Amino acid sequence: MPPDGSTAIMGRSQTATEDSRTPYSHHDTMDSEPTIPTTPTSESDVEKDDASPTQAPQLVDTSVENRRQSEEATKDSDLKSMTQRKVPTKDDTKKEGEVDVMDIPTKVDIVWRNVFLFVYLHVFSAYGVYLLLSGQVMWQTFIWTALIHSCGALGITAGAHRFWAHKSYKAKLPLKLILVFMQTVSFQNSIHEWSRDHRVHHKYSETNADPHNAKRGFFFAHMGWLLCRKHPAVKEKGKQIDMSDLEADPLIMFQKKYYVPLVLWTSFFMPTLVAWYFWGESFITAWCFASQLRYCFNLHCTWLVNSAAHLWGDKPYDQTINPSENKGVSIFAFGEGWHNYHHVFPWDYKTAELGRYKYNFTAAFIDFFAWIGWAYDLKTVSDKMVRDRVRRTGDGSWRHEKEAASLTDMTDSLASSMGMGHGGPWGWGDKDIPMTDSQMTQTLYPLISLHED
């Protein structure tokens, strides 16, 4: 699960200056947050391939000729694009002597209200653990809570993350409605806010503009970022992220407008009242276990992607970046722990090279809806793209390790840039996706293959 464990309630306008925010929100840490500009997108080649969902099953790939031409340009172009990725995100319009917002030193300015509310959440959650271990939770409540947890988790992984933030597949209205409901259950901020923060995270990973910059340590990347005010660069770069696609979607703006009542009912009241009313669970147990503990557990699963998966694990696809392959995180986060791959190819709906379902439950969820026709245009990348990238920038831990190690050929400029904070494109539709990558991206519809290697 993704990545952003942000949990703010945004109010009724697009400005974030309203007071109707929840405590768990990193947005609470802002003094103010200007309206997100709706700049034109670079979606020309994204929308052109808008395949009709009624067409017969097929695998659409680039033509052989196009591929041959693009292969010629691949190495130079990708190296160029990687070089571009490494370039610190300075603002060229800054006058001499003026400090770039990215260079403003970090400081910890604690938001005590958030600290208090997180303490409250964890105390009640701890009591929920005690109720479980002491046998005071009814089995019906346990199953119900597991269902609600899965619902919220998938709302983040399949919904906010892979569908809205990265545009890695398309969905028909019934699936969109399901995903909006599930994402609201998770209470990790509205889809609009969640997606914007996550796009910023991808474009400015491990810099001051990354909301949960892992270079500031495990605790900060995990939950500390929600306990202190945002670095100015996060707000500045957040304003520049293109969100016009989501802002044009009435469903997204409806959820944003009515987020407060929606989240209160779906994330807290519903889980509690159902257990209390239908099978007679005690109200306190239902509140502490099905509501508070479930929510707390969901947040930590999400946060592990920002912390553990940005600090520990192999880097078979790009050793110059922090995000890593972490099986443990994948288990807790429904398949979101294959983070080195994900930051290299963020528009792949599987967020991983291998779609093995036991470590990627979210891919199974999306595949199911593709099978019944509610999800379509699933983006994935070819084996050749993966191998090319492994050869150029992998750390030798790829599954075909020997082959990769013998082919590794890092340029001096790339090697010298290792360790620098940098990001990549935020997903399908970002103008910074290398042309060769977008040309060689495959679109699956509907998906039937099982991806087993």
Q: Please return the burial class of 150, using the count of CB atoms within 10 Å of its CB with bins 0-12, 13-18 and 19+.
A: middle
Nearest to 9, CA basis, from 87, 142, 114 = 114
- Closer to Zn ion at the Cβ: 286 or 321? 321
* C-alpha–C-alpha distance, residues 321 and 213, integer Å: 12
Cite the beta strand spans of 213-330 per DSSP E.
none
DSSP state of 13: S
Tokens of 31: 């003094």
Q: Considering beta carbons, is residue 290 or 378 the nearer one to Zn ion?
A: 378
Whole-number minimum distance, CB 61 to Zn ion, in Å?
24
The residues facing 378 across adjacent strands are: 444
Q: Between 128 and 155, whose beta carbon lies closer to Zn ion?
A: 155
Interface residues with Zn ion (CB under 5 A) are: 323
Q: CA-to-CA distance for 184 and 260, rounded, in angstroms?
A: 10
**Least distance (Å) between residue 5 CB and Zn ion:** 12
Residue number, 171 or 293, with CB nearest to Zn ion: 171
- Comparison of 323 and 335: residue with beta carbon closer to Zn ion: 323
The CB-of-190 to Zn ion minimum distance in angstroms stands at 17
To Zn ion, the closest distance from the beta carbon of 113 in angstroms equals 27
Cβ at position 447, least distance to Zn ion in Å: 20
Cα–Cα distances in angstroms (integers) from residue 88 to residues 95, 209, 279, 432, in the given order:
17, 11, 57, 15
Least distance to Zn ion, CB of residue 323, Å: 5
- Cβ nearer to Zn ion, comparing 21 with 161: 161
Nearer residue to Zn ion within complex by CB, 128 or 323 = 323
> Contact at 8 Å (CB) between 286 and 271?
yes
Q: How far is the CB of 135 from Zn ion (least distance, A)?
A: 39
Whole-angstrom distance, CA of residue 205 vs CA of residue 211:
9
Listed in sequence order, the residues at least 6 apart from 434 whose beta carbon sits closer than 8 Å to its beta carbon are 77, 78, 81
At residue 332, φ and ψ (nearest 5 deg) are -75, -30
Q: What is the SS3 assignment for 376?
A: strand
